Structure 1
Amino acid sequence: MSTNTLEKLQARFDPKAAQGMHEIFQFHFSDADSYYLDIQDGKLDVQQGEHDDPSVSLSLSTDTLKGIMNGDINGMTAFMTGKLKATGNVMLATKLTTLFPSE
C-alpha cells in the first residue's frame, strides 16, 4: 500500500465518528504489505504489519480499498463478489466509510 493512500486515510479520519471506539482494523493486501488501524477513542494510529488480536480482518487489494473509500465500489458488493473477505466483527467494516468520509 502506498504511503500516499495511508496519508489520505489519515487526513480523512473523523475523530468524532470514532469517539468511544476501541477497535483494530487489520488489512491484508493481496498486492502490498499488511497494515492495521488502531482506533482508540477518537485517535487513529496506523501501523505496518500484523496485530495479534484485531477486531476485524479484511483481505483485499489496494485498488478495492481505494474504490470502497472513494465510493466507486460498494463494500457489500465487494464482499458478495469475493473482492473483499472479512473475519471477526464483520459489522465493523461497514463503519469504515463513516470513520473516513470522502471529501
Structure 2
Amino acid sequence: MEEMLGMTTKKETIEELENARKELLTEENQKDLKGWTRVVQFHFKDIDEYWHFEVNDGVPGPLVNEEADDADIRIKMDEDVFLGIMAGEINRMKAFTSGKVKVKAALKDISKLTKFM
C-alpha cells in the first residue's frame, strides 16, 4: 500500500508541476513574462527528487526529471508542502517564512514565482 501511496503522490506532484508550468502560458502571464528567460528547478528534499523546466522569452519548456546545473531559480521543499500550496491548503508566504520552502533566486525573479506557485 505504501508503494501505491508514493506513486499516487508522485503522479499528483508531476500533475501540479505541469499545472504550474502551464499557468505561465496564460495571456496575462505571457504579457508579464515576455523577455524573461530562466531555468526553474524544484527539489523535493524528502524524496530527493529534482524537476526543472526552462522558460525562454516567457514560454516554458517541458518538465525534466533531473537536477539542472544552471538553474536560475531553485525552490526546495517537501513534496507534501508543494502539493498543499498548489491545492491552496498551505499559505505559500507562511511556508516560505517558516522555512518549509527555500528559494534561491535573484530578487527580481522572486516576484515571477507568484505567477505559477
State the TM-score, normalizing by the size of structure 1.
0.76
Q: Where is the strand percentage greater, Structure 1 or Structure 2? A: 1
1:8 and 1:60 map into 2 onto residues whose CA distance is 14
Question: Cα distance, 1:8 vs. partner?
Answer: 3.6
Aligned to 2:40: 25
State the TM-score, normalizing by the size of structure 2.
0.68
- Alignment: residue pair count: 100
* Aligned Cα root-mean-square deviation (Å): 2.4
Q: Where is the helix percentage greater, Structure 1 or Structure 2? A: 2
**1:68 and 2:47 correspond:** no
Percent identity of the aligned residues?
Answer: 27
Find runs of 4+ consecutive structure 1 residues off by over 4 angstroms: none
Aligned to 1:37: 53
CA contact (8 A) 2:16 2:83 kept: no
The one-letter code of the counterpart of 1:81 is S
2:108 and 2:88 map into 1 onto residues whose CA distance is 18
Which runs of 5 or more residues in structure 2 are unaligned? 1-8
